[in-house]
């Protein structure tokens, strides 16, 4: 008799155990908020400097101003070669307005004469060097000399 009771009890235990033995599924950990993109107050890093120096951009007005103060005494205000000193110069400065001359020389020739003087391109040392001019001033003067063409 007793064995029946034990067996029933055992069955009951097994039945109960099956139902309640499974643990609830483990909860996924709460997502960690992503770190802030940048610390508060931190500014974006400065753009990397351009490794290539951009070519000097000529400014015609700058070239005109430099020409008036440094060149016109010999070359003339209009670049015609009749500056105040021109009569004393041998050879005399040429007329920059002549299209044929403009077409015969390169920009590099003009900039070389101006910055390094006449001898740098086989001309007279009477044409003085202007080594203090920076690339932008040189480009501006060259552009101004080009603009004198008629």
Residues lying near ligand HEC in the complex (CB under 6 A) are found at 67, 70-71, 73-75, 85, 89, 91, 93-94, 105, 110, 113-114, 118, 123-124, 126-128, 130, 141, 145
Distance separating alpha carbons of residues 140 and 124, to the nearest angstrom? 23
Q: Which residues of 75-101 are buried (b: 16+ CB within 10 A; e: fewer)?
A: bbeebbbbbeeeeeeeebbebbebeee
Tokens of 51: 């490794």
The distance of closest approach from Cβ of residue 96 to ligand HEC in the complex, given in angstroms and rounded to an integer, is: 7
Least separation in angstroms between residue 128's CB and ligand HEC is 6
43 vs 141 by CB, closer to ligand HEC: 141
Least spacing, CB of residue 74 vs ligand HEC, in Å: 3
């Amino acid at each position: 008799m007793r064995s029946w009771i034990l067996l029933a009890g055992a069955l009951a235990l097994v039945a109960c155990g099956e139902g309640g033995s499974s643990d609830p599924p483990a909860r996924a950990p709460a997502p960690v908020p992503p770190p802030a993109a940048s610390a508060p107050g931190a500014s974006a890093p400065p753009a990397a400097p351009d490794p290539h120096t951009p070519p000097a951009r000529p400014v015609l007005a700058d070239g005109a101003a430099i020409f008036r103060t440094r060149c016109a005494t010999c070359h003339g205000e209009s670049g015609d070669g009749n500056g105040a000193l021109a009569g004393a110069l041998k050879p005399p400065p040429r007329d920059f307005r002549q299209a044929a001359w403009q077409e015969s020389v390169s920009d590099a020739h003009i900039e070389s004469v101006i910055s390094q003087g006449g001898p740098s391109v086989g001309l007279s040392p009477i044409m003085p060097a202007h080594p203090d001019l920076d690339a932008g001033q040189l480009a501006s003067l060259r552009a101004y000399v080009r603009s004198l063409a008629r």
